A = this chain, B = another copy of it.
Amino acid sequence: MNKLTNSKGSTNTLPVTLKDVARVAGVSISTVSRILDERLPKSKSKSAEKVRAVAKNLGYTRDVMASSLRRGGTGTIGVLVPHLTDTVMAILYEELAKVAQHNGYFTVVATCGDSLEEEEKAIESLLGRRVDGLILATSRLDHNSTGKLKDLGIPYTLALRTDNESASVVGNDIHGGYIATRHLLDLGHTRIGIVAGPNYSSNSLGRTKGYEKALIEAGLKFSPQLCIQSRFDFESGEAAGHVLFALEDRPTAIFAVTDNLALGVMSAAKKFNLLPGKDFALIGYNDTPVLSMLPTPISSVHIPLDFIAYKAIELLFGDRTQNIVEVMPSLIPRYSSIAYKG
């Protein structure tokens, strides 16, 4: 591995250290350290002024690694998401970073796709950086990747998904699935398909359960034919859409448990020459800005991600007595969810 070098090929200028500042200011290292300690009340003494001036002048920045080694905490929160290219996850992360920063913490993010192996590696990597806590938006029900965290006593909370025992902040997925389906029922639809997502994730399972509940309540029965399991990615939604549209008696409305999946359904629809909002109703989940810009914007169940982020970090800090926080989702109806014209 090459050493990183700057444009002149010379090695980096040594960063300015406490020692440098101390020497120039003519005081001891300890004093500089204390004066520059952001946690202490700001001294207004003469030498304090001077030290600050020197530090600024020399371009001193505290070495956080060294500092945290001594302080015993890194002031860092690790965040793990499947993909940053999933806009929902990107929004969640940006909100988390904002809240964390506001609390004096720095966030570090890692992505792991939908791979268990990658997830373990990513957690290891974050742990190696001695994060003070971890927020996971990746938890699966079929595998316990949080066991190690529990053993080590590293605080963590799950976001958007739960394993039903760890501290978590989630939308009420059953309710979300319920209102989505209910909305379609109210519009007169009786054949409602669902692109259900994977069965290892609490959110897709909950939303599917809500879907079923609404159907039963309306006196309809759950038809396995209309319920297509999938992964979370676009292609998978497209495939599921294909299956549904190819049915002899195809659904007049579709609930996709994720926005990405809804987009996949739209893509599949195009190949069948069907237009959402005209030939069938479509509703997704977790609204992202782009969805509202579509010519037939996708109806959506919405969860406030800023609030999720806020609560997730609060839970990481807090006394953790209330272990699972549930946020109520709300419905955003749009052109894509039209009434049934039978």
Contact = CB atoms under 8 A, between A and B. Distances in A.
Most buried by B among A1, A7, A68: A7
A4 B155 contact: yes
A293 B59 contact: no
7 contacts: A7-B155, A7-B320, A9-B320, A11-B153, A13-B152, A263-B290, A290-B290
Interface of A: 1-13, 15, 59, 61-66, 68-69, 73-74, 83-85, 87, 90-91, 93-94, 97, 103-104, 106, 108-111, 124-125, 127-130, 132-133, 148, 151-155, 166-167, 234, 263-264, 266-267, 270, 275, 289-290, 293-296, 316-320, 323
B74 A7 contact: no
B317 A2 contact: yes
B103 A65 contact: no
Given A65-B74, A85-B94, A154 B295 contact: no
Contacts of A167: 7
Contacts of A91: 85
A124 to B, nearest CB: 6
Given A7-B167, A87-B90, A267-B293, 13 more contacts: A1-B317, A6-B155, A6-B320, A7-B323, A59-B151, A61-B128, A64-B129, A64-B130, A97-B111, A109-B109, A290-B290, A294-B295, A295-B296
Contacts of A7: 155, 166-167, 320, 323
B316 A263 contact: no
A295 B293 contact: no
Nearest to A88: B85
Nearest to A11: B153
Contact of A65 (B62, B130, B154): B130
A153 B12 contact: yes
Contacts of A154: 6, 12
A309 to B, nearest CB: 13
Nearest to A105: B1
A312 to B, nearest CB: 13
Contact of A128 (B62, B152, B318): B62
Most buried by B among A84, A91, A124: A84
Contacts of A129: 64-65, 106
